[in-house]
Every structure is written in C-alpha cells, then in structure tokens.
Homo-oligomer: A and B are copies of this chain.
Amino acid sequence: MSERTWSIGELAEEFDTTLRTIRFYEDRGLLAPERQGTTRVFHARDRVRLQLILRGKRLGFTLDEIAHVINMYDETPGERGQLAFLIADIGKRREALLAKRRDVNEALAELDDLEERCRADLDRLSDSR
C-alpha cells in the first residue's frame, strides 16, 4: 500500500497555479515537502495544505493569516492551556469567516436587486415595441 505522491508540476496543474507559487509558499514556510535529492516530493498531507492555502487566498486572507490557520490544524497540542488557546483562536477564525459570509450574502442580495431591475427594464422595452 504505497502512498501516492505528487511532483510540483502535477500539483501546479491540478490546482491551476504555478511552480513559482508553490515554491514561494514553501519559502514562506507554508509547505515543507519531502526531498528526494533536490527534487520536491509532495505527499497527500502537503497536497491538502496546498488546497487550504489556495482556498485561503481565494477568500482574501494573507499568507501570514493562512500560515496561522494551517498551523492550528497541524499542532493539535496535548496540553490543557494550549487547547484552550486554540479553541479561542478557532472562535476568532469562525467570526472572520461568518463576517465574510455576511458580506457575500449582502453582495448577492444587491446583485439580485440589480438583475430584477434589469429584467424590468427589458420588459418595458418589449412592451413598448
């Protein structure tokens, strides 16, 4: 049961990004793929991390923020105090995401309004033909 691995090129293609970008993320400490010689070898874990990074980017988070979140998933501390901190942190992240969802919903609602007005305009044009 040998685990599948990926090359940097495969991941870049799969997620529609570039080699440069992936290397940059490694440089910033967001990825740490295995090396076989000098060549990077990405395991499933690295692939998931890359997905997390790219999703974070799509949502407008900075790489620093994303690094913070990714590390939350990795650490999973055993100690009591650390766990409490982590849970508090999760709360903050959730708030940020909920705020973002509210923004999205508002924007969608306004878009709906606009489309409705457009369709009304179209109808008027059809009637007065």
Contact = CB atoms under 8 A, between A and B. Distances in A.
Interface of A: 55-61, 72-73, 76, 78, 80, 83-84, 86-87, 90, 93-94, 97-101, 103-108, 110-111, 114-115, 117-119, 121-122, 125
Copies of this protein chain in the complex: 2
A44 to B, nearest CB: 16
A121 B78 contact: yes
Contacts of A122: 80, 83-84, 87
Contacts of A94: 108, 111
A58 B100 CA distance: 7
A126 to B, nearest CB: 9
B107 A90 contact: no
A63 B75 CA distance: 36
B103 A98 contact: no
Contact of A59 (B76, B107, B115, B117): B107
A118 B83 contact: yes
A17 to B, nearest CB: 15
